[in-house]
Amino acid sequence: MKAPRLRIALSGACGRMGRQIASLILADGAFSLVEALEAPGHPDAGRDYGQVLSRDPLGVKVGVHPGADADVMIDFSSPAAVKGMVSSCAGRHIPLVVGTTGLDAGTRRSIERAARTIAVVTAPNMSVGINALLRALPDLVRLLGPAYDLEIVEAHHRHKLDAPSGTALALAEVIARAAGIDLRREAVYGRRGITGARPRRQIGLHAVRAGDIVGEHRILIAGPGESIEVTHRAHSRETFASGALRAARFAARARPGLYSMIDVLRSGR
């Protein structure tokens, strides 16, 4: 017997990532799009979502209040909207995938509380390549040791709201843990003026915003007489959208808890 389609609600449906995820949902018979959400006052609110996507009508209007009977919610909205969505999903026992970045401490705490009652997958980047890099980097940093300086340079399109990117911060966190560095004390976000010699245990993070760059992250590890550069470059948003749907499949079947994209990849779902 054919398995029922996974019913997906999508928050941030009219944004770049929302549209990309919706395109994959509509092309895959394993999924069904049951809700498309945007912020109150959004110009597309009330329109048929198919028209927003330049397709035939879908019979799903862009809403501003969640309420559909969904198997899982995928959120790529805005930092300001996530906290309310977390509360809504927890109250309705709907598993949640959060790809929105730039979250404040209060929102992160609300996610942790929600994970006591629902499955929540959070990831600043849902591509397989970045998550493989997050696993591999600590070994490289530990092998090279403290004689090597650590810098991260990320580049995104001119419309990205937060800097540095959530992915750059995640890379910095795993590098700092591997090197035994307190990131809160030793991180420097860009440099300007007469900065003096570089402190040995500093980690530099630098953000570029230009054009329509989907996403690039370069890790520079430089030591005496040599340097290593590791670069991840996303060629399209489809890699992130595909990862989000993989996370949605996982969350819909997982027990309550807070999960990462690494957990999703390990599960093989």
Check pLDDT > 90 for residue 24. yes
Across residues 240-267, what is the average pLDDT? 95
Domain topology for 128-234: Dihydrodipicolinate Reductase; domain 2 (3.30.360)
Q: Report which of residues 268 and 99 the model is more confident about.
A: 99
Question: What's the mean pLDDT when you consider all of the chain?
Answer: 95
Rounded to whole angstroms, how far apart are CA atoms 143 and 101? 30
Q: Any idea which residues carry the catalytic annotation?
A: 156, 160
pLDDT score, position 68: 87
List, as one string, the DSSP characters of the chain: -PPPPEEEEEETTTSHHHHHHHHHHHH-TTEEEEEEE--TT-TTTTSBHHHHTTSS--S-BEESS-----SEEEE-S-HHHHHHHHHHHHHHT--EEE------HHHHHHHHHHTTTSEEEE-S---HHHHHHHHHHHHHHHHH-TTSEEEEEEEE-TT--SSS-HHHHHHHHHHHHHHT--HHHHEEE---S---SPPTT-EEEEEEE-TT--EEEEEEEEETTEEEEEEEEES-THHHHHHHHHHHHHHHHSPSEEE-HHHHHHHT-
Whether 6-122+237-267 shares its CATH topology with 128-234 is answered no
Please provide the CATH number assigned to the domain covering 6-122+237-267: 3.40.50.720
Write out pLDDT tens, residues 145-154: 999 999 999 9
Task: Say whether pLDDT at 107 is over 80.
Answer: yes
- Does residue 102 carry a pLDDT above 90? no
Q: What is the pLDDT of residue 83?
A: 94
* pLDDT bracket for residue 184 (50, 70, 90): very high
Confidence of residue 2 (pLDDT cuts 50, 70, 90): low
Q: Over the stretch 29-64, which tens digit does the pLDDT of each residue have?
A: 999 999 999 999 999 999 999 999 999 999 999 999
Judged against a pLDDT cut of 60, whether residue 1 lies above it is answered with no
Q: Does residue 6 have a pLDDT over 70?
A: yes
The pLDDT of residue 118 is above 90: yes
Question: How do residues 130-145 score in pLDDT, each as one tens digit?
Answer: 999 999 999 999 999 9
What pLDDT digit, counting tens, does each position of 158-176 carry? 999 899 999 999 999 999 9
User: Domains of the chain: which residue ranges?
Assistant: 6-122+237-267, 128-234
Band (269; pLDDT cuts 50, 70, 90)? low
What percent of the chain clears pLDDT 70, i.e. is strictly above it?
Answer: 99
Query: Residue 115 above 70 pLDDT?
Result: yes
